[in-house]
């Protein structure tokens, strides 16, 4: 589980076992997650999405991209400049 709110740090649900140790399977997954993040190249373009580039459809958000747009990573972030907004 990953949680981020109000600009806080990333919280990973990686609890120790009854011996106080992190289980090997969680260590493996956490290392894989860290490696995946480290392997990302810096963004070449950053697009700020707003009401003119997105369309709400039920609980989904549809993003309108230019024809021929290509990407390999998507980062979504909540605009926290006005505080956190929780709808439900």
**Residue 81, pLDDT above cutoff 80:** no
Residue spans per domain, the chain? 2-63
The runs of H, that is alpha helices, within 1-88 are 24-39
What's the rounded mean pLDDT across residues 3-30? 81
**Residue 5, pLDDT above cutoff 60:** no
| pLDDT tens profile 22-54 | 999 999 999 998 888 788 777 666 666 665 666
* Angstrom distance (rounded) from CA 5 to CA 82: 13
* Angstrom distance (rounded) from CA 13 to CA 11: 7
**Residue 1, pLDDT above cutoff 60:** no
| Residue 66 Cα distances to 1, 53, 54, 63, 74, angstroms | 33, 10, 12, 10, 15
pTM over 0.75: no
């Amino acid at each position: 589980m990953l949680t981020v709110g109000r600009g806080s740090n990333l919280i990973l649900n990686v609890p120790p076992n009854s011996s106080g140790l992190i289980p090997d399977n969680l260590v493996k997954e956490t290392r894989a997650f860290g490696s995946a993040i480290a392997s990302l190249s810096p963004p070449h373009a950053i697009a700020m999405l707003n009401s003119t580039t997105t369309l709400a459809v039920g609980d989904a958000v549809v993003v309108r991209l230019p024809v021929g747009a290509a990407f390999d990573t998507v980062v979504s972030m909540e605009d926290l400049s006005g505080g956190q907004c929780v709808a439900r």
